[in-house]
Structures are given as structure tokens and as C-alpha cells.
Amino acid sequence: MSSHLSDLAELGWTTFFSSQFSSDDFPDSRAVRVVAAHRGLLTVAGDGFEADIPSRLPHAAAEEDRPTVGDWLIVGRDTLRPQRLLRRASLFKRRAAGTGREVQLIAANVDTLFVVTSCNRDFNVARLERYLVLAREAGVLPVVVLTKADLTDDAADYARTARRLLPGLIVETLDARDTDAAAGLGAWCGPGQTVALLGSSGVGKSTLVNTLAGSAAATRAIRADDDKGRHTTTARALHRLQQGGWLLDTPGMRELQLADARDGLDEVFDDIVALARHCRFSDCTHEGEPGCAIQAAIAAGNLEPQRLTRWRKLTAEDAFNSASLAERHARDRAFGKMVRAVIKDKTNPKFR
């Protein structure tokens, strides 16, 4: 393998991307990964180099066509001018209320989401399910990381509860301060792999980042443009991990909401979805209609009633966030129409 290829592979280049671009077919172009996004500027990394380039792409009309951190871009080999964006393997995005833009891209091509919670009062099944929906909706593998296992005798119970949430769900319990923790999570932090973290305040995300990054963080945070002695920055950036992988650090992860997350919901609650197919009425609300397969499952002890309640709440949150934007637009349009009508009235000589 040429050094060129191994460098791109270390950055996360896989057959998913190489099937979209071959440098043999386009000798004047090259692939680069967006490792940091600033206002109007991207820091990109390619085979053995890093550079700042303008973020503007030709023909990028929709917000989703704009590059974000983690993206793969095809640029001019020498000019480094952006030419096109490669299709994403995964994408975190959020509704951007009040910005005038429909969606805000948070990160692309993340492989694994560490869903971090601790073995104490922060542990909350509803919150975990919410994070799992966000991960599945983005197309990312969730790995539940239970920190502060050193402070309790019940770590195994927490892990068991978490594992029940999704068939095959990977759950790791650890002391985030312990360097052995990095070894436990190593399978997702190797060369070319990109991870992101999600979890409430105080659960140990920063501690975990420190442990995973080791000395690498201090010496090699890509483009730490506001480095105030911390290893992380407030810019949206990928940071090199000790084991060769990349950690996505962006404040946007904290603001993820459930919106347009129907697919993610269906995946995480596939037991309920499967049951609902057997209800007598296709529009069954599962609130007591005859022939309701979900209520029957609850009565038979095969479904926790709390899980149904949690599913309802998340579904309602998703519906609210998804609909409210459409409604807001409708309201804006109605308001604009009214304003235009008033202006027209005023200019109408009849009303002078």
C-alpha cells in the first residue's frame, strides 16, 4: 500500500468513499477530510498535509450539501479548491430554530457514538433510549459507556439494565480516569475510526477524552485555534486519539434534539413497532381499543408498561419538533401575506 493510501485510511477513508472517487479517474483532484470547521473556513487533511480552505462548494444550494466536520471533500489537487462532497456514511444534524436555516449540520462520518452515563443517579433509561434513537437516526453505532463503576458495587446491574434496551447493544463499564478504560474502548478508537461522545454534564466525558487521547491530545490537537491550555477546543474539530482514531469534539452534540427521527425511533423501539402491526385497527392508539396487541403484551407480562410510556413521550417529542417547524413556516407565510395585504390597503387610493 502506498503511503498516500495509508494516510487516507488513517483519516477514515474506506471503500464506502473510494467507491465514490478514484484518483485514477480524476488525476487533477484529491480527497481530503474536513478535520475542523470555522466560520467560512475549513481545515482539511489529506495525504500528509493539512490546509485551510474556503468552505464554499460550487452548487451547494441546500444546507445538507455544505461540508461539515468529518466530511470527505474532493478538491483540486493543487488549488485545493472544493469540487464536490462525498456521500456521507452517517450524519448528525439538528433543527436550527431561529437561525433562518432549516437544519444545522453537526458532524459527518462518525462511526461510533459513546453514549456516556454514570453508575449513579444520572443513569436513566429514558435518556439512554433517547440517545440511542439519536445515534440510530444518524446511522452511527451506539456504545453505552457507564462511568464511575469504581464508585459502586452495582455496576453489573446498571450494565444489565442498559443491555436490555436494544438487542446486541454494547455496554462498557469503567472508571473513566483509568488508563485501562482506554483499552476497553480501544476497539472503536483505532486508526481510521471516528468517535463522538454524548452524555449529560458531570458523567465524565472530558475525563474520558483525556484518558483516550492520552499525551496525544496535549501535543496534537488539530488546529487548536483557541487553545487556552485545555486539550479540547470550542471549535468543531476532530482530535487524534492515542490509538490512532479520531474524536469529534463539537458543542453541537449537546444540542441534538429528536426531530424527524422516525426511523431511529422505529429501530430502538422495534419491539413495539412489531407488536403494533398485530393490532386489529391500523390506527390503534394502544390506549384500550379491542384487539390491541400492545396492551395484550403488557397484560401477558411481555412488555413493560413504562417502555410504552417512554416510547409515547419520545414519539410526541419527535412529532412536536418535526411539526412545529412546518407550522412556523405556515405562520410566517400567513404573517407575510397579512403584512402585504395591509401595505396594499394603505397604497390603495380608496383608503387614503
Ligand X SMILES: Nc1nc2c(ncn2[C@@H]2O[C@H](COP(=O)(O)OP(=O)(O)OP(=O)(O)O)[C@@H](O)[C@H]2O)c(=O)[nH]1
- Cell reading at 146: 457507564
Q: Which of residues 123-162 bind ligand X (CB under 6 A)?
A: 147-148, 150-151
The verdict on 230 binding ligand X (CB under 6 A) reads: no
Given a contact cutoff of 8 angstroms between Cβ atoms, the answer to whether 195 and 111 are in contact is: yes
Which of Mg ion, ligand X, none interacts with 147 (beta carbon under 5 to 8 A by kind)?
Answer: ligand X
Query: How near is the Cβ of 199 to Mg ion at its closest, in Å?
Result: 9
Q: Would you say 155 or 203 has its CB closer to Mg ion? A: 203
Type of residue found at 293: A
Q: Which of residues 235-274 bind ligand X (CB under 6 A)?
A: none
The verdict on 176 binding ligand X (CB under 6 A) reads: yes
The span from the CA of 85 to the CA of 32, in Å, is 10
Q: Which of 28, 79, 190, 202 binds ligand X (CB under 6 A)?
A: 202
Q: Would you say 143 or 176 has its CB closer to ligand X? A: 176
- According to DSSP, the β-strands at 236-240 and 141-147 are unpaired
Which of Mg ion, ligand X, none interacts with 252 (beta carbon under 5 to 8 A by kind)?
Answer: none
Q: Which of 23, 83, 206, 242 binds Mg ion (CB under 5 A)?
A: 206
Distances (CA, A) of 269 to 47, 130, 162, 275, 310: 42, 11, 14, 10, 10
Characterize 31-66 residue by residue with b for buried, 16 or more Cβ atoms within 10 angstroms of its Cβ, and e for exposed: bbbbbbbeeeebbbbbbeeeeebebebeeeeeeeeb
Q: Which of 12, 70, 82, 204 binds ligand X (CB under 6 A)?
A: 204
What number of CA atoms fall less than 13 Å from residue 233's CA on the CB side? 20
Q: Site residues (CB under 6 A) for ligand X?
A: 147-148, 150-151, 175-177, 199, 201-207
Q: Site residues (CB under 5 A) for Mg ion?
A: 205-206
